[in-house]
Structure 1
Amino acid sequence: MLLRAVIFDLDGTLVDSLGDIADATNHALTLHGLPTHPESAYLRFVGSGVRELIRRAVPAGREDLLEPVLASYKAYYDDHLFDRTAHYPGIPEMLTALAGDGARMAVLSNKSDDFVKRLVARLLPGVPFAAVYGERPDLPRKPDPTAALALARELGVAPTECAFVGDTSIDMDTARAAGMYGVGVAWGFREVAELKAHGARAVADTAQSLLTALRDARP
């Protein structure tokens, strides 16, 4: 394996969390008398952090309810984080194989830091991630490359020695901005065409093909 490290997005890449995100948001909208959305709509709402999720879900003209809906979302999601969320097939085995190859690994998500750490600890126990970053006040969200570059430093690798794996244009834009090798996954929240249009060097459709793509990468 020529790459020395891999940074993974979380939602839509390692875990399928869409159902719980949709349920929590729809619960919050209902509490405040607002219309809900079908689960499929959340494929486009997620990816840019929780405030942007709520902004997209709340109807135009009801911006006065953004903060109350956000608070209700966080309270509900905190209690229902694991109702429907699970890792995608083959993910633990793929991560174990990468660790066996000697790759250093980390997680970088725009989801709230506490939720990211809880999900990783519960759903991917024993995976030797060197660092797990969610949204933090001291770091701008993806696609700004600051957090990805901070992770590369923490992992002890140059950006060019690192892959960035994700399921959205945000992740591929992050990889390009950081000078990393961007790999998309086809099982996530966005389309393959979006990943390729934003510079994915490879797109995997299974965990095993992701492992192969990372092993075969030529930075």
Structure 2
Amino acid sequence: MKFKGIIFDLDGTLVNSLEDISDAMNTVLTDLNYPTHNYDTYQYFIGNGLRKLVARALPSSNNTEDEVEVCFENMLKTYDTNCVQKTKPYKEIAELIHDLDSKGIKLAVFSNKADELTKKVTEALFPNLFDAIAGLTTEELKKPNPFKAIEISKNWNLKPEEILFIGDSDVDIETALNAEMFPVGVTWGYRTEEELKASGAKVVINTPLELLEIL
């Protein structure tokens, strides 16, 4: 088998977390009497980390660095309490992960969500199924920086070209290319097939079990 490891994005790839993330941010906005946003709008706020999402959600008239920082901390507290209230794996994802695990393929999660929250969501929904779980620890290491993806490959003793990198956004595809891994886009998340292909995805799949055909 050519590919021996797979690194998955989390939000929009493994799990649909749109409502929990949106609800948490809207709670922060409501407390400040700021306008809220619908789920369709939040779909395009997700992908560059929660701090960036906060900045995008705040009104332009109240978007100072200090305001973003305060709202970011409040959003984290709110989201931490409810991060798996509505969040669920996408259809076929659980079946896919168990199938890959049974084949002995190494599995990891690499997300721009805060590291603690990434681990909390992944372990709650996929207990003991991933060899590595990496979230955002510092802004400098945020995707599309490939550092953590390369670190995972080294810990696995695998070459980058032996690893699939799977995600639903241009950020994920760019990360895969930067890490010299095989980029696979998925259309059930927050971006379109056209956007994924334009970003450089070598393959775009429409259902999780299609991934088995690549392997």
TM over 0.5: yes
1:108 corresponds in structure 2 to: 110
User: Which letter does structure 1 place at the counterpart of 2:174?
Assistant: D
* Alignment equivalent of 2:96, drawn from 75, 94, 107: 94
Report percent identity of matched pairs.
38
Question: Is contact 1:139–1:147 with CA below 8 Å preserved after alignment?
Answer: no
Alignment RMSD, CA only? 1.3
Q: What are the ranges of 5 or more consecutive residues in structure 1 without an aligned counterpart?
A: none
Q: Please list, as runs of the form range in 1=range in 2, the aligned pairs for 1:26-175 lying within 5 A after superposition.
A: 26-64=26-64, 65-127=67-129, 129-137=130-138, 140-175=141-176
- The alpha-carbon distance between structure 1 residues 138 and 22, as it changes in their structure 2 partners (threshold 3 A), is closer
Shift of 1:186: 0.8
> Which residue matches 1:21?
21
Counterpart-to-counterpart distance in 2, 1:207 and 1:63: 38
d(CA) in 2 for partners of 1:119 and 1:157?
Answer: 26
Task: State the Cα distance separating 1:61 from its structure 2 match.
Answer: 2.4
* Per-residue CA distance 1:1-47 (angstroms, 9 max, x = gap): 31011100000000000000000011101111211011110111011
The runs of at least 4 aligned residues of structure 1 exceeding 4 Å deviation read: none
Q: CA deviation at 1:138?
A: 8.5
C-alpha separation in 2, matches of 1:31 and 1:138? 27
Structure 1 position 71, deviation (Å)? 1.9
Tell me which residue corresponds to 1:212: 213
Instruction: Quote the offset at 1:151 in angstroms.
Output: 1.1
Q: Does the Cα contact within 8 Å between 1:6 and 1:103 map onto a contact in 2?
A: yes
* Matched positions, count: 213
Q: AA paired with 2:179?
A: A
Query: 2:12 is matched by which residue type in structure 1?
Result: G
Give the letter for the 2:166 counterpart. V
Please state how far the C-alpha of 1:139 moved relative to its aligned partner: 5.9
**Displacement, 1:154?**
1.3
C-alpha distance in 2, partners of 1:136/1:156?
A: 23
The aligned amino acid for 2:144 is P
Question: Any conservation in 2 of the 1:2–1:161 contact (CA below 8 Å)?
Answer: yes
Partner SS for 1:45: coil
SS at structure 1 position matched to 2:155: helix
1:50 Cα deviation after fit: 1.1
Distance in 2, Cα, partners of 1:15 & 1:28: 23
Structure 2: runs of 5 or more not aligned: none
- Give the 3-state SS of the residue equivalent to 2:43 in structure 1: helix
TM-score (norm: length of structure 2): 0.95
* 2:46 counterpart letter in structure 1: V
Match of 2:202 in 1: 201
Alignment check: 8 A CA contact 1:20 1:83 kept? yes
